[in-house]
Amino acid sequence: MLLHIIARGKIGRSAEAELTERYLKRIAWKTRVTELPDRGGRVPDPAANAVTIVLDERGKPLSSVAFAKLLEGWRDTGRREARFLIGAADGHEEQLRDKADLLMSFGPATWPHMLARAMLAEQLFRAVSILDNHPYHRDG
C-alpha cells in the first residue's frame, strides 16, 4: 500500500523537511509526498480503492497502536493507497473534511502544519514498525 502525504505549503530546506525525510526513508512501504500551494492547486485524484485521511484538529485522536491497526486493516482489505491530507495554517475546506474516510487529530493542541508533516511521517514509521514487530515502538 502506498502511504501518500498531500500537504499544503512548501516545506523547502528546513529542519522540518529533514526530519520528515528521515522518517519517510525508514518506512518499508512505498511513500510519496505531494506539495500543494497554501491556497488553490488541485488535490490529486485518489488511486482506485484508496482511503483518505484528513488531519484536522476536530478529528479523532488515535494511539500509535490503534493507528497501526487501521493501516493494517486497510492494507489487508486491498486498499492501494492511504492519502493523508495536511492543510495550511487555515486548515481544510469543509467539503474536503466531509469527503474524508477519517478525520484524524494529533490531539487538542494546535500544531504548525510544517511540523505536522514530520509528526505524521514519524507516526507512519512507528505504525509500520509495530506491524513488522520492530522494536522501535515500546508499549507502556
pLDDT tens, position by position, 15-26: 999 999 999 999
Is pLDDT above 70 for 27? yes
Read off the amino acid at residue 87.
G
Q: Is residue 79, in this structure, part of any structural domain at all?
A: yes
pLDDT in tens, 109-127: 888 888 999 999 999 999 9
Read off the amino acid at residue 54.
V
55 carries a ligand binding annotation: yes
Range list of β-strands (E), the chain: 2-8, 31-36, 50-61, 81-86, 102-105
Q: Is residue 31, in this structure, part of any structural domain at all?
A: yes
The whole domain housing 19 covers: 2-131
User: For residues 57 and 52, what is the distance between their CA atoms, to the nearest angstrom?
Assistant: 16
Question: How many domains are contained in the chain?
Answer: 1
How confident is residue 140, by pLDDT bands cut at 50, 70 and 90? low
Average pLDDT over residues 49-55: 96
Per-residue model confidence (pLDDT) at position 91: 80
Average pLDDT over residues 43-58: 92
Q: Is residue 63, in this structure, part of any structural domain at all?
A: yes
Q: Is residue 136, in this structure, part of any structural domain at all?
A: no
Task: Please say whether the beta carbons of 10 and 34 come within 8 A.
Answer: no
Q: Is residue 67, in this structure, part of any structural domain at all?
A: yes
Q: Which tops the pLDDT comparison, 128 or 38?
A: 128
Per-residue model confidence (pLDDT) at position 130: 95
Q: Which tops the pLDDT comparison, 93 or 6?
A: 6
Q: Is residue 16, in this structure, part of any structural domain at all?
A: yes
Specify the CATH number for the domain of residue 65.
3.40.1280.10
Q: Is residue 140, in this structure, part of any structural domain at all?
A: no
Per-residue model confidence (pLDDT) at position 51: 97
Per-residue model confidence (pLDDT) at position 22: 97
> Helices in 53-138 by DSSP H: which ranges?
64-76, 94-99, 113-131
Q: Which tops the pLDDT comparison, 101 or 134?
A: 101
Task: Please say whether the beta carbons of 100 and 53 come within 8 A.
Answer: yes
Residues with Cβ within 8 Å of residue 68, at least 6 apart in sequence: 126, 127, 128, 130, 131
Q: Is residue 15, in this structure, part of any structural domain at all?
A: yes
Report the mean per-residue pLDDT for the chain: 92
Kindly report the pTM of this predicted structure: 0.93
